[in-house]
Amino acid sequence: MLFNALIVVVTVIGMELFSIFAHKYVMHGFGWGWHKSHHEPRTGWFEKNDLYAVFFAGIAIALIYAGTRGHHPLEWIGAGMTAYGLLYFIAHDGLVHQRWPFKYVPRRGYLKRLYQAHRMHHAVQGKEGTVSFGFLYAPPVDRLKRQLHVLHQGRPQRRAAAATTLPDEPPAA
């Protein structure tokens, strides 16, 4: 049982590492066709980018099914992927993008850093020259500001105020 729990935890960590790579090189690369909707104003409950969640949920379901049919420990890898998907939904879709029916903007601690890092990711128009590709890991905000400065020789081109999908940054606490 402890070994299975370890597999779930390692899978969650591995999914964040995989997600950073996939977000940077797939979603902001050849997969931009789906992901672009995430960088534009949302017009309904869903966006084309949500197809990535459906795709990975399908893989997790297939792994859980295979594991319960004797291909151990695939069910625990699928469970770890599912746990990561839940954390992603809470932190990214809910906290950062406010896709919940209520609003909460963190004012301190790691959640504020995560919120600010993802806002910096969306500060750049288009798929090039952006920073912070993690969904649960957020590099220090000062480092991201330096990266944006280097990438854009100063301030990045900001999106028009009407086009933002994120609420205003919380006041300093």
The set of residues, in sequence order, having a beta carbon less than 8 Å from that of 126 and lying 6+ positions away, is 39
Phi, psi dihedrals of residue 158, rounded to the nearest 5° = -90, 155
**pLDDT classification of 162: cutoffs 50, 70, 90:** very low
pTM of the model: 0.86
Q: What are phi and psi of 164, to 5 degrees?
A: -70, 145
What ranges do the domains of the chain cover? 1-152
Q: Which amino acid is at 138?
A: A
Q: What is the pLDDT of residue 169?
A: 52
The alpha-carbon radius of gyration of the chain (Å, integer) is: 17
pLDDT tens, position by position, 39-95: 999 888 899 999 999 999 999 999 999 999 999 999 999 999 999 999 999 999 999
Question: Whole-angstrom Cα distance, residue 142 to residue 146?
Answer: 6
Residues 101-160: pLDDT tens digits? 878 999 999 999 999 999 999 999 899 999 999 999 999 999 999 999 899 886 555 554
